[in-house]
Amino acid sequence: MGNRLRQVSKHDASPAVLKIYQELFGDRDPVAEPGTATGTPGDYWTTYALVPEILTASRDSLMAMLQPGRALDGRYRELAILRAGIVGDSRFEYSQHMKVARMVGLPEEKLAAIKGWATSERFDDAERAVMAAADELVGRNLIEDATFAQLKRHFSDEQIMELVYVIALWRMHGLIVRALHLEYDHDTTARMSEIPAPSPKS
């Protein structure tokens, strides 16, 4: 199943888009020669480029949250993003941020346990609060009072603000990627079709 919207080639790109393409793809035209350094198709970027302001704003907001030295430690950020990808059913976010999680120092045993974190003993109380918050915010559009109380035990208000923003930001992009059938998220309709019951025997 292909892209739902057209992609923007270098030939049709605005100067702002060309600058971002250069950063991500070098001299290649990412439509004619798709692919990123992490092995993804890259059509997230080339589709967002239909509206240059959306591409620029998305790149700026995502990259800002990934910079070192933020209030929220990168390990907590990546646990939250991975849970947002899992609960939001975005293969793209999950696959990409498994790689980022390793880069910020999350060990393999925790990454292997993240899908079943609620029954795992590999996570401390702060990590559990982060993942509970991600699950509740993505799955139910809220954070329970008890979960928020746990966040307040372990994090400053500034860190919690970043955490909530990160969860919501990556959830938004997960929704867009799935809606437009980008990257690894192309199977968003068929699996939710009804399976007919057997015909009654005559």
Q: What is the pLDDT of residues 175-188, one digit of tens each?
A: 999 999 999 888 76
Same domain, 35 and 117: no
pTM, entire model: 0.90
How many structural domains comprise the chain?
2
DSSP codes, the chain:
---SS----GGG--HHHHHHHHHHHTTS-TTTS---TTS---HHHHHHTTSHHHHHHHHHHHHHHHSTT-SS-HHHHHHHHHHHHHHTT-HHHHHHHHHHHHHTT--HHHHHHGGGGGG-SSS-HHHHHHHHHHHHHHHHSS--HHHHHHHHHHS-HHHHHHHHHHHHHHHHHHHHHHHHT-TT---SSGGGSPPPPPPPP-
Domain extent, residue 16, equals 10-64
Q: What is the CATH number of the domain that holds 160?
A: 1.20.1290.10
Please indicate, yes or no, if residue 126 is contained in any of the structural domains. Answer: yes
- End residue of a domain, out of 20, 43, 64: 64
Confidence of residue 202 (pLDDT cuts 50, 70, 90): low
